[in-house]
Amino acid sequence: MGLENVRRLAKGRLAPGSSYAGNVTPDEAWDILAADAKAVLVDVRTDAEWNFVGIADLRALDKKPIFISWQNYPGMAKNEEFLADLSDAGVTPDAPVLFLCRSGARSASAAQHCTAAGFNECFNILEGFEGDADGSKHRGQISGWKKHALPWVQG
C-alpha cells in the first residue's frame, strides 16, 4: 500500500476534534517507517513498560525507537519536558513522528500535543504495543504491535 493511501486512511480514522495527521495500524506504522527515511517511532510508555513488557525492534529498518514517557510513573503526571525531550532526541517538526503506547491512548494525546506545538506530521499507532485485554485480562493476544507479529524484543 502506498504512503499516500496510508496517510489518507489514517486521516479518515481521526476522532472528531483531533488535528494530528491520523491513526495508523501497527502494520501501517511499519510501512511508513520503512518507506520514509525521516520517519521516527517515539515510544511514550514508561520505563517499567519498556523494561518488562518489551519494545519495538526496528533494526531491520536500520532505526531505533526513541523512548520518551508521555506520563511519569508512578503518579502518571504528564511529562512537562516532553517537547524538550523530543528536541534533545533529535526529533524535528518536519519529520513524520509515529507515537506508540500500550493501547493507543497516551500516544494519541502525544500526537495531538505535538501537532499543536508545530510538528507537521504526527501519527497515533492504533492498538499500541500490547492492544486490548482479553477475557483473562492479558494483553498482546487480541491486538497491538505484538499481535501483528511485528519485530519486538524484551526490554
Do residues 20 and 114 make contact, with C-beta atoms less than 8 angstroms apart? yes
Map out the domains of the chain as residue ranges. Answer: 3-11+19-153
How is residue 7 written as a grid cell? 496517510
Give pTM, 2 decimals.
0.94
Taken as a whole, the chain contains a residue count of: 155
Alpha helices in the chain (DSSP H): 3-12, 26-35, 47-52, 82-88, 105-116
* Mean pLDDT to the nearest integer, 13-23: 94
Is 19 in a helix, a strand, or coil?
coil
∠ CA 14-17-23, rounded to 5°? 20
pLDDT digits (tens, 9 = 90+) for 113-152: 999 999 999 999 999 999 888 888 888 878 899 999 999 9
**What CATH architecture does domain 3-11+19-153 belong to?**
3-Layer(aba) Sandwich (3.40)
* Omega of the bond leading into 65 within 30 degrees of 0 (cis): no
**Phi and psi for 30 in degrees, rounded to 5?**
-60, -45
pLDDT digits (tens, 9 = 90+) for 50-92: 999 999 999 999 999 999 999 988 888 999 999 999 999 999 9
